[in-house]
Amino acid sequence: MIEVAGLRVTFPPDVVAVDGVDLTVQPGEFVVVLGRSGSGKTTLLRSLNRLVEPTAGVIRVAGRTVTGAGPAELRVIRRQIGMIFQQFNLVRRASVLDNVLAGRLGFIPPLPSLLGRFPPSDHALALECLAQVGLAHLAARRADTLSGGEQQRVAIARALAQQPAVILADEPTASLDPALTTEIMDILRRINVERGLTLVVSQHQLETALAYATRVVGVRRGRVSFDGPPAAVTPAAVEAIYEGGVPR
């Protein structure tokens, strides 16, 4: 589903964020990318849909080559990749439903969409996605009136509205308390199991990673330092991932 070969990302002047990553993700996997802050997890995820431009390497997602794709091709690729962010990244002043409808932008003709009109079928789909995260009753509310956990569920609904092949979640629970962390991760697991969607989720919490992942990819200083099932995460592996203490 995802193939990454020789990925390097450097930021000017000379910060190497991702330093030669090779990674293949099979359909239906729940991959947790584990590492401390600044290890390169976020840059790795963001380069998969080219929110960050890779410096070198090849990325393929769902059978299409991401690297080197032209603008139109890139949009077709991006709409197959749902993305969830640490800060939820909802449009605060827009309604919950409008935020979810944004997930359809890649599918509708661009010019009419600028008037803010979406086909009835998209409205139905957006409501269905909201129902799946248990928030259909809040569809008309302004996004910034929701709690943090609810906002992240709206963001998940927005990603689902893309009917994507892959969902990337960049530290989806880092801004939430432990109870909400479980709630969000449970929703992600349900998506993974029930829809068979491929998930790549970055995390800095070891326990959360081990509880949900079908596969753990440890990242340290921009390189893959561990790759295996949660059962194989031994103290030595933890050391290799975190180089020292495990952050809380």
Residues of the shown chain interacting with another protein in the complex, contacts defined by CB under 8 A: 49, 51, 75-83, 85, 87-94, 102-107, 110, 113-114, 116, 155, 158, 162
Locate tokens 């009753």: which residue?
137
In the complex with another protein, the residue whose CB is nearer, 4 or 77, is 77
In the complex with another protein, the residue whose CB is nearer, 107 or 215, is 107
CB of 157 to another protein, least distance (A): 12
Instruction: For residues 136 and 32, give the distance between their C-alpha atoms in angstroms, rounded to a whole number.
Output: 29
In the complex with another protein, the residue whose CB is nearer, 32 or 161, is 161
Residue 215 has phi, psi (to 5 degrees) of: -155, 135
Instruction: For residues 56 and 23, give the distance between their C-alpha atoms in angstroms, rounded to a whole number.
Output: 14
CB of 235 to another protein, least distance (A): 37
Instruction: For residues 187 and 199, give the distance between their C-alpha atoms in angstroms, rounded to a whole number.
Output: 12
In the complex with another protein, the residue whose CB is nearer, 25 or 143, is 143
| Dihedral angle over CA of 17, 58, 25, 238, nearest 10 | -30
In the complex with another protein, the residue whose CB is nearer, 83 or 201, is 83
CB of 114 to another protein, least distance (A): 5
In the complex with another protein, the residue whose CB is nearer, 95 or 182, is 95
CB of 113 to another protein, least distance (A): 6
Angle 9-163-104 from CA coordinates, rounded to 5°: 85
Q: Which of 181, 91, 78, 187 is nearest to 132 (CA)?
A: 187
Tell me if 159 sits within 8 A of 167, measured CB to CB.
Answer: yes
**Cis amide leading into 13 (omega within 30):** yes
CB of 242 to another protein, least distance (A): 27
CB of 42 to another protein, least distance (A): 11
CB of 49 to another protein, least distance (A): 6
DSSP state, residue 75? H
Query: Packing angle between helix 148-161 and helix 120-132, nearest 10 degrees?
Result: 130
Which regions of the chain does DSSP assign to beta strands (E)? 2-11, 15-25, 30-34, 56-61, 64-65, 81-84, 166-170, 198-203, 215-220, 223-228
In the complex with another protein, the residue whose CB is nearer, 171 or 224, is 171
